[in-house]
Structure 1
């Protein structure tokens, strides 16, 4: 029975179109045409041969002029047995209706004159009849039909591969359609608000929108209106996209998600068409949420920079997006979420109330928030009993949520590499050092002289920073090459919302301690302080030109929070003021450099002892630093 059912099912299957039948038909057509042309391939002769050999001998039956170009010559049947026509009988099929010879006539007038002159002495019954015909050759017809057929076959194959005959979602005919991924209410996202740690204020505002979609009566009875758009702004890795995924998991409404770059294509008008199609789909499934990640790809400010372009596809897409967000059309029940880390370059019309009513700023997490983020990412990790989460949070200032996730993963990889059953505190410290400084390169060979210079350089950083009041606590010093650096001094950075002038100057002095130690000990300097000098120069220019901390220039700032000065070719201050800024920066750096050398001269014995210990064991921790340099009065290390 099963076999009979299978046979009946297979017999009922519709027979689809097989392109190989079309290929076979075209091949047969070409073969038949070539065979017909070979049969009809008459011998070409000249006018002189035609006149002297055939016409004067009265052997011509008739002449047919085809398309005013070629004369087809038919020989009388009773004369074909003549020896001069034997080549026709041997090389051609003796088929009636096929001309024996052909002649290019040039023009009809010339041919008619020649025929008249050649037959002026002929009797009336000996005159040769001339017929005129207009024909369409099958070969000529195929010469322009065949390329069209090939083009049609190409498009058919392209459509079949791109989306089931050109009508599927991947077809090129749908390049103007929205590419947003739809998450229906039936498909529950794995990410919820419980998985988002350290963003309590942002979650409260986002949860309010989700609650409005679930219980709109609670808000509308008081006359409240839900924000049309919410802009998530923050540095990379702070959880903007994660927060949007949590919204998709919590909201029981259709959720459309896509990237801003998906709107812009090489085809003109595609971006605007996709925006229209996206909002059309969202309105049909309202209430719904649209999430546009990296909206700065299409939301850049419109200005003079684009004035020279006759047709800017990105600007057209932005105009359509502005219209859809707050135009004459209604977007009832459609909420737009967007994320960017470059809010300063967005168009002002995009950020105004009525389009994106609410701006949620996600900053780098604080110590308490980092501790909560560690707790989330440590759940799948088999951690040891010695793992101190508060200490890890203290040792990772400036880390984003993505950095913390990467640190937990690196620690697990390091423990697995050591064939350990648990991930210990030491593994997390190694993972932190690798993320901040790079991979250890113990196999990198350096000469003893260079190693000695590096040891005194790092010892100079340690000594100067140890005796400065406003420098973070020193954790350890190492001369093991890591990443691009040959050594490093590890500090425990403190979290500050504002920085005072003494803190700026002490940090500059500590950064110059390595170069100062080289000059004090070796009476020469090297290129090893490149990274230190880069940081010092940037800090000094920030103090003078941005923060107004210079006494001579006074409280002036040339910081541009809008980003408009980036488009200017010149600087926002005069040449005279620029010269004064350069002079003040040089004076500031030079004075701090001399201060660092004075400290090293004062504590020269401690510098020598620390450098020798580094050459001996390559890493010096906090206990050895306290033994050599003494107890710091402003030590802020956690107990």
Structure 2
């Protein structure tokens, strides 16, 4: 649904880049921070003890890393197996290379030439199945150069040719004997050692890995079937409920869960039971994960956190195995909290499109989650907290009561919430005493908590780069524009004709927005490029807007048309700079006809195609004749908006030219500047070119300052009688 709030109209050199492609920006994004309580009272799953047992906490006696030591048997066996495997490999290598390392290898001709010359010692030739080895006498000359300093030679052979070599040595009268180092055991080791080594490697790296992936211990892949959750306690989290603001209702829900876990007996007195699950719903950055962190920081029970994407791996069945492992550990540590972040990664509606049914990995994981959440005993105090920004795609079996008993909306903060969030983040920076956070809160409608945090951070960075002692109001306002509209590219070189077209484009937007009563108030106009946009007309709503009236939409559509009209009237040409304006206006017109029932011809009917639950393309719920009427109505609304905008600019073209000239001179105009120009007044401040000229004069040397050169030094070549050489 189109959302004109915080709207920006921009002109581009190539393609338009507006504040929001889809004007339908819903409430509910941001990452808010802020305030809360600290419920008192503690209790176990039956409400019979005052302090939580150490057994039920991460790091306790029943958890890895606690006081209890893990069994040493399995680890000892694994270590011993690896030692034996490595030792066998080293021994095999040493035995195979023992003799070769001490002797120099020679060829067949070289070895028997030495034997024929009687160059070997009296020990003769030592024969083994793989080689002939001999020691050379002292003082023998004419040895092969490959020997170097070595006095032992070896000729590699094989058992097949061994009898031929012994016959030749016997004919030569050369003594030979069996190598005494080649025992039967060494021969067996050399023959079967590589086979045994390969078998052991296969066992350790394959069979044990598969056993580990199936849930058994050990193996390189042994942890694939184990859950990848993070176990947190309040000692591990530095976020408290006092750090959460702007979402009071959601924080109250979280406080109730924490209170129930601390003191279940209080609620069970009247027959109540612990909620099975709480689903936090909101657009990205609205504070869902922050609430979970606050729960980890406040609760006195184990807190297991895992993302939905961590369940799915390359092996089929791993996701379901991890789900079972996670819930098994949670039940053993009851009472506890499980937080599933971005649950839509595995909780999507089943049976979409051409999925492979029950064999699909995500469906197996989802089925495992459904079974585990439905299998809780009444005494199992395990609460599942999940977050998503796509509640519409979740499987109905997952969101039904009994699994997720509560669905908590985490919306965008209102004015009061924004001020509270700004105060929370402002505690971390040095603010000037004259900073007014309430003013900034009013100037940031529809900002999420994450955007507000970014505003404070960007302001601190900007003040630091400017060597300021404190963050001032100007820094905060500049940071707000940077977060919402993008960074200004002041160093970009823009051609003069593009600059002229951009100035008239933005002036057309600004004039219509200033004159129309129901459009959002004008905030700032600039021709300084931001991102891909060549300029921008920025507006900020006076209040949080959750619905749109027809007059507001009509005026907004007229503002969107103003840029193209002014640009075309001045340059007698059109450019692609209005592409985003056209897209936004078309979205408004289409939503008025299809969704909002604002067409007299079509009446109070919704013609939007509904999503098919099976994932196939939905058929349009109207006839071809109705489709023609829809197209005609969209065209009519667009043409009317364009004609009205053209009429307004024709009646106020003088003011449009005045604004465009001011933009060319000053590059940026505030709402107050636009008001003065529309009333025929002068701005009374220097232009950009005048400021640049003043800076150049400051850098240039002063004419009245004495020349630092010596008095006897000529001031110029001409003064010394030298003429400049001809060019």
Range class of TM-score, shorter chain: 0.7 to 0.9
* Aligned with residue 240 of structure 1, among 288, 292, 310: 288
* Shift, 1:291, TM fit: 0.6
User: What CA distance in whole angstroms lies between the structure 1 residues aligned with 2:503 and 2:446?
Assistant: 28
CA deviations over 1:523-576 (Å, ceiling 9, x no partner)? 322211112112111111111111111111111213467674963164444443
Q: Which residue of 2 aligns with 1:147?
A: 198
Q: Which residue of 1 aligns with 2:408?
A: 360
Q: Which residue of 1 aligns with 2:582?
A: 533
* Aligned with residue 450 of structure 1, among 485, 498, 501: 498
Q: Secondary structure at the match of 1:268?
A: coil
* Shift, 1:435, TM fit: 1.3
User: What CA distance in whole angstroms lies between the structure 1 residues aligned with 2:294 and 2:616?
Assistant: 38
State the Cα RMSD in Å.
3.4
Q: Which residue of 2 aligns with 1:249?
A: 297
CA deviations over 1:598-630 (Å, ceiling 9, x no partner)? 000011111111111111111122222222224
* Aligned with residue 130 of structure 2, among 35, 38, 51: 38
User: What CA distance in whole angstroms lies between the structure 2 residues aligned with 1:615 and 1:32?
Assistant: 87
Q: Secondary structure at the match of 1:576?
A: helix
Contact 2:334 2:382 in 1 (8 A): yes
Q: Which residue of 2 aligns with 1:260?
A: 308
Contact 1:460 1:513 in 2 (8 A): yes
* Aligned with residue 402 of structure 1, among 450, 453, 463: 450
Contact 1:344 1:562 in 2 (8 A): no
Q: Which residue of 1 aligns with 2:390?
A: 342
Higher relative contact order, structure no. (Cα contacts within 8 Å, ≥ 6 residues apart) = 2
1:568-587 aligned at under 5 Å gives the runs: 568=617, 570-587=619-636
* Shift, 1:331, TM fit: 6.3
| Pair 1:477-2:553 in alignment | no
Q: 1:371 to 1:39 in 2, by over 3 A?
A: closer
| Pair 1:183-2:275 in alignment | no
Q: 1:345 to 1:93 in 2, by over 3 A?
A: farther
Contact 2:349 2:393 in 1 (8 A): yes
Q: Secondary structure at the match of 2:222?
A: helix
* Aligned with residue 25 of structure 1, among 91, 94, 97: 91
User: What CA distance in whole angstroms lies between the structure 1 residues aligned with 2:343 and 2:573?
Assistant: 52
* Aligned with residue 225 of structure 1, among 273, 282, 300: 273
Q: 1:320 to 1:566 in 2, by over 3 A?
A: closer
Structure 1: gaps (5+ residues): 1-13, 42-69, 98-135, 632-639
User: What CA distance in whole angstroms lies between the structure 2 residues aligned with 1:190 and 1:143?
Assistant: 56
* Shift, 1:210, TM fit: 1.0
Relative to structure 2, which stretch is displaced further, 596-605 or 137-146? 137-146
Q: Highest Rg: 1 or 2?
A: 1
| Pair 1:619-2:685 in alignment | no
**TM-score, normalised by the number of residues in structure 1:** 0.77
Contact 1:232 1:339 in 2 (8 A): yes
Q: Which residue of 2 aligns with 1:415?
A: 463
User: What CA distance in whole angstroms lies between the structure 2 residues aligned with 1:193 and 1:512?
Assistant: 47
User: What CA distance in whole angstroms lies between the structure 1 residues aligned with 2:199 and 2:87?
Assistant: 17
CA deviations over 1:433-486 (Å, ceiling 9, x no partner)? 111221111111112111111111111001111111210111221111111111
* Shift, 1:171, TM fit: 5.4
Q: 1:435 to 1:90 in 2, by over 3 A?
A: farther
Contact 2:169 2:176 in 1 (8 A): no
User: What CA distance in whole angstroms lies between the structure 2 residues aligned with 1:276 and 1:331?
Assistant: 19
Q: 1:86 to 1:202 in 2, by over 3 A?
A: closer
User: What CA distance in whole angstroms lies between the structure 2 residues aligned with 1:88 and 1:138?
Assistant: 30
Structure 2: gaps (5+ residues): 1-78, 101-126, 134-159, 180-186, 681-727
Count of equivalent residues: 539
Q: Which has the higher helix share?
A: 1
